Structure 1
């Protein structure tokens, strides 16, 4: 009983001890440095990567051994397998070196660094050998393609074209493989630098080969863009539904795909050139134009700044080369414009003097139109001559101006209607500057005339600008077109008034008024009989400049005479 109590008591004490000490154990565990654990994990990872590298190395050697005894399709398949395995091997080797350089344990790094150096040196040597073999293959294929193209018309055309197409396909595969080799060359060279090796030779080779490949791809893009342009021209003259049109559409689609493929490969070369620290602005511009859209790279501030800087340097070079011719052209243009301006003023003056002497009765609108048009014609001829000096084709330019004029004319129909009405007024001359007219419910003196509007000042000195189309569509009364006009004034008097006395009063006023032309016919008559009044008419002639004065003075004087003889007064 005592023993069981003791055991139970000790168990309780042990459990309490565990719960009390557990947080301290946890704290101690958390307080232990993690470097040892991280180093152990990194060592395990590097060991696994190194094992995979060895496996790939063994696989490559095995494929190379089998490839020596293979023929035909089997040999080509083994060759493709070798290339794919080499690419994975080099990528894995690059990752292995990056993992080594990321470690901080010096002893551990030194242990793996020696292995990495041996692997990198061997990989770079294999790259040199691969490039030499692939360059020879490219040279042989290019020579074979050139020979086949020379003899293509003397042989059976269809099989010869198939052989050329097959060789071009092989050539494209080799070049694409070389681009993968360039990628490995660049990054393994950087890895060699990080391991302390001298990578000047490999980096120089990478710079030369990557730039050459970028130039080649840019050339292919340019050639395909020219081919696409030719196809577009052919498509423009055939019907889309026809067999020829469908064939051209298919060809254009294939050429577009080739352009996009070359653009993607050029973008890969641009990435490698950036890694090498070389200028890539022109290549990026080619990629952007080939893709026909702005890439995200262009929106990056540094890339955009680099592009602008590159273009600015190219612009300055171009300016240095073209500066003498540009300065000469600028001086020529300025001289042509100055001479044309002075000549236009001289011609306007000559035309103005000639018109005043030969046609003094010409309307102001016609005179100003001829004077202004002659000056503007000289200016226009000067501009055309200046453009011709710059090498601009005048024929297409004039055709374009004609089309643009048609579009503008369609948009400005109302303005053209006013212009046409102005021409009609110019030809038929219903009025001129200085004439007093009555038109469209308006009356005033014409102050200014253009081919679009007529400016009129009313008797109240109101300034009115009237569209010529409004005037031409209405009845135009030119009050001052004749030096003398006949006027009719009407007076009314009660029916019971003495008609003789009224007619005598009106006649006396007409004979005595200074505004009335006394040498012309004038008389007063009963004009109309009303129910309670009689209307009388006074008919006489006055100068066209005195119309208003005659109306006011005669009306006032006749009213005074009526008052004197008691006409209109209450009986």
Structure 2
């Protein structure tokens, strides 16, 4: 980086007048007078001035001597030695500027000597800017002619040049502030500096706009180019992006200098915001905000004038397609509802609701997809996104999907339907509601139990009310001493007299078991499912009443225990000896 400033650094430093520093040294080395030695305590700082002046002046003189010597040896150096001397020259000048700034602030060196030092720095800055501008043009030409694979290397030198130019402009502004502090007229210097600064800012702004357009063109070419050409285009895009970054960095530094110089910079701050998107405190400036909103409004108006009619027409087409799709979805749902409600179709309520809801939603989604494609939106990424999202959701909702799969199996095989009395998932009750995820059962004591479908499908399912008729199984016992035939006749009369007992299939009344304490009859009449419990309770009640009237006992479990006393034999009685 420092190789670029060699000659510019050497020119002004040789012209610096060293006599002013020597004069300062001579004045500061004179002994204190008697009156000066009796200064009060508050003048102590002034009494130290000659010592500080001597030290600072000697440092400045030493730095000047080193710079002149380095400049003379630069003409004989080559290769790495040449670069090393340039590096030393740059750092020595930085030290010299720090000493000059300290001397101006502390006022420890005569003004005429400081003025001469500052003038030398002004000459240095002018020479350095001219030299760096020339080098920038050379590097820009090399950058334009360099192959794509070497542009990034050349860009490093270009970026170093721009950073040096920014630094030189900062030095130039600092020189003017020094001259003001030394009471030197700077009207012409400030005016010339402002003109150069505004020119550089305009050049950087134009470069940024150009690089923006070039980057957009390259991005479009990359998206439309074959794979074999993308490599070179991507290298070019990277080079343009780096040049844009360099220009933005320089513009930021120049805007700061321009604001200190009282130059209007709102439009350039707006450009910085639009290019980087960075929110800084400068954005709070009303002029900057006004420019940003005005620019956005202008862009929106231009876009609306160029594309408004076209996009409005597309939006109308989209709205029309969605409207037609919604109407078709409703008609489809009605048609499917009628088809599934036909008597010929044996379909569960859950399956019916599923097909009705899904048919309408599918038609609506297809209509929306068609509408999106008509307004120019590629739905392929959307479909791909749905596929990826479904995989992620599948892993996250494994249990829910298991319930959903079980619900589909219940829908297909329909072991029960809403309104059936079932034993499922370990619960007895009436099916109150079914969905693809869970089933709601209302127990006989009016409790609501929600069971996941996976638990129902993985367990035993008993549907009590699915068949139209059921057999009522009952057992009645009589005593062994009761009239067997009479009891059978009574049971037959009771069953036959009940209005809800079906004639077909035929009722079965048979002697089934000779139990330990009773003779058991099985009574198995057939009834409609809805009258199952009515028949069961009515017959049980009537059997008890008739058996009591007819003198037939209904035994309960009992056992007869017989005790036999055994007389003990005399020979088995033990003789107890007397004591």
**Shared topology, TM-score over 0.5?**
yes
For 1:541, the equivalent position in structure 2 comes to 526
For 1:566, the equivalent position in structure 2 comes to 551
User: Over residues 510-543 of structure 1, what are the superposed CA-to-partner deviations in whole Å (9 max), with x where a residue is unaligned?
Assistant: 1111111235411321121211112211111111
Question: Structure 1 residues 465, 320: CA separation in 2 closer, same or farther (over 3 Å shift)?
Answer: farther
Question: Which of 421, 426, 435 is equivalent to 1:450?
Answer: 435
For 2:92, the equivalent position in structure 1 comes to 85
Say whether residues 1:185 and 2:172 are aligned partners: yes
Say whether residues 1:363 and 2:352 are aligned partners: no
Say if 1:87 and 1:180, in contact at 8 Å, map to a contact too: no
Question: Structure 1 residues 48, 347: CA separation in 2 closer, same or farther (over 3 Å shift)?
Answer: farther
User: Over residues 337-386 of structure 1, what are the superposed CA-to-partner deviations in whole Å (9 max), with x where a residue is unaligned?
Assistant: 66554543343223223433485532211111111111221343344346
Say if 1:516 and 1:550, in contact at 8 Å, map to a contact too: yes
For residues 505 and 446 of structure 2, the distance between their equivalents in structure 1, rounded to whole angstroms, comes to 33
Q: Residue 474 of structure 2: SS of its match in structure 1?
A: strand
User: Over residues 388-408 of structure 1, what are the superposed CA-to-partner deviations in whole Å (9 max), with x where a residue is unaligned?
Assistant: 467554323322322221222
Question: Which of 103, 108, 128 is equivalent to 2:126?
Answer: 128
Alignment of 1:211-226 (within 5 A): none
Say if 2:394 and 2:401, in contact at 8 Å, map to a contact too: yes
For residues 403 and 211 of structure 1, the distance between their equivalents in structure 2, rounded to whole angstroms, comes to 49
Alignment of 1:90-489 (within 5 A): 90-100=97-107, 112=111, 115-144=113-142, 146-147=144-145, 149=147, 174-194=161-181, 195=183, 197-198=186-187, 199-206=190-197, 208-209=199-200, 270=252, 273-274=255-256, 276-277=258-259, 303=281, 317-318=295-296, 321-322=299-300, 324=304, 328=312, 340-357=325-342, 360-385=345-370, 388=373, 392-489=377-474
Question: Structure 1 residues 368, 312: CA separation in 2 closer, same or farther (over 3 Å shift)?
Answer: farther
For residues 106 and 367 of structure 2, the distance between their equivalents in structure 1, rounded to whole angstroms, comes to 74
Say if 1:266 and 1:283, in contact at 8 Å, map to a contact too: yes
Q: Residue 184 of structure 1: SS of its match in structure 2?
A: helix
Question: Structure 1 residues 549, 135: CA separation in 2 closer, same or farther (over 3 Å shift)?
Answer: same
Question: Structure 1 residues 553, 424: CA separation in 2 closer, same or farther (over 3 Å shift)?
Answer: same
Structure richer in helix, relative to its length: 1
For residues 297 and 273 of structure 2, the distance between their equivalents in structure 1, rounded to whole angstroms, comes to 23
Say if 1:185 and 1:206, in contact at 8 Å, map to a contact too: no
For residues 382 and 44 of structure 2, the distance between their equivalents in structure 1, rounded to whole angstroms, comes to 79
Q: Residue 417 of structure 2: SS of its match in structure 1?
A: coil
Question: Structure 1 residues 482, 43: CA separation in 2 closer, same or farther (over 3 Å shift)?
Answer: same
For 1:521, the equivalent position in structure 2 comes to 506
Question: Structure 1 residues 40, 342: CA separation in 2 closer, same or farther (over 3 Å shift)?
Answer: farther
For residues 391 and 140 of structure 1, the distance between their equivalents in structure 2, rounded to whole angstroms, comes to 47
With the length of structure 1 as denominator, give the TM-score of the two structures: 0.68
Higher alpha-carbon deviation: 416-425 or 261-270: 261-270
Say if 1:263 and 1:287, in contact at 8 Å, map to a contact too: no
Say if 1:453 and 1:465, in contact at 8 Å, map to a contact too: yes
- Unaligned segments of structure 1, at least 5 residues: 1-28, 101-107, 153-160, 231-251, 290-297
For 2:26, the equivalent position in structure 1 comes to none
For 1:235, the equivalent position in structure 2 comes to none
Question: Structure 1 residues 418, 570: CA separation in 2 closer, same or farther (over 3 Å shift)?
Answer: closer
Question: Which of 487, 495, 506 is equivalent to 1:510?
Answer: 495
- Unaligned segments of structure 2, at least 5 residues: 1-36, 223-234, 260-264, 557-579
Q: Residue 474 of structure 1: SS of its match in structure 2?
A: coil
Q: Residue 466 of structure 1: SS of its match in structure 2?
A: strand
Higher alpha-carbon deviation: 73-82 or 373-382: 73-82
For residues 82 and 113 of structure 2, the distance between their equivalents in structure 1, rounded to whole angstroms, comes to 32
Question: Which of 26, 45, 69 is equivalent to 1:38?
Answer: 45
For 1:155, the equivalent position in structure 2 comes to none
Question: Structure 1 residues 49, 263: CA separation in 2 closer, same or farther (over 3 Å shift)?
Answer: farther
For residues 169 and 570 of structure 1, the distance between their equivalents in structure 2, rounded to whole angstroms, comes to 112
Deviation at 1:123, TM superposition (A): 2.2
Q: Which has the higher contact order (CA 8 A, sep 6+)?
A: 2
Q: Over aligned residues, Cα RMSD in angstroms?
A: 4.8
Question: Structure 1 residues 55, 369: CA separation in 2 closer, same or farther (over 3 Å shift)?
Answer: same
Q: Residue 525 of structure 2: SS of its match in structure 1?
A: strand
What count of residue pairs does the alignment treat as equivalent? 481
For residues 53 and 369 of structure 2, the distance between their equivalents in structure 1, rounded to whole angstroms, comes to 77
With the length of structure 2 as denominator, give the TM-score of the two structures: 0.67
For residues 282 and 75 of structure 1, the distance between their equivalents in structure 2, rounded to whole angstroms, comes to 41
